Amino acid sequence: MKKYFAHLRPLERRLAVGVVVVLILVLNFVFIWPHFSDWSQLKTRLKNARDTLASYQATVAQATNYQAQVKSLEGQGEFVALEDQAINFMRTIQAQAEASGVGRANYSRSIMPHERRIFYRTSAEHQCGRHRPAARGFPLQARLWRLDDPRA
């Protein structure tokens, strides 16, 4: 590079240095200046992350209080078995609807997933080798078809 500048006249050297300076300024303007705002965005994100971390740590510090509250609330009510929860919930809704004067024509109860599994197991035990046709479609559809099969 020194050989190149050594062969140039003083005016050409000034022109070459000027072109390099302008090129550096243009590249700086195109690639560097747009990212000056990234610093403030980074500070904002860092502040938000620290606030979130402090909030989470405060919540974790309160875990023993929350566990005590859960135990006290569990002790206040009565234990309701899993099978009866849906029925009790439906009765509560019906009582509130009647008290509010809102009528509902149909209160149908769908089969709960755990009840469906129990039904399938007990009916499969009593099936005694009856032939069932192969299910078409995907494996999940086949399993659902078996669960909903009235012949099972």
C-alpha neighbours within 13 Å on the C-beta side of residue 117: 2
pLDDT of residue 122 exceeding 90, the answer is no
Residue 27 near residue 19 (C-beta atoms within 8 A): no
Contacts of residue 13, defined as CB under 8 A and 6 or more positions apart, other chains included, come to: 5
Average pLDDT of the residues in 81-92: 82
Q: What is the pLDDT of residues 13-63, one digit of tens each?
A: 899 899 999 999 999 999 988 888 888 899 999 999 999 999 999 999 999
- Average pLDDT of span 134-149: 53
pLDDT tens, residue by residue, 89-118: 888 888 888 888 776 666 665 555 555 555
Q: Residue 115: what pLDDT?
A: 53
Confidence of residue 135 (pLDDT cuts 50, 70, 90): very low
Domain-by-domain residue ranges, the chain? 2-67, 111-126+136-152
Confidence (pTM): 0.36
Question: If you search the block for the tokens 């929350």, which residue do you land on?
Answer: 66
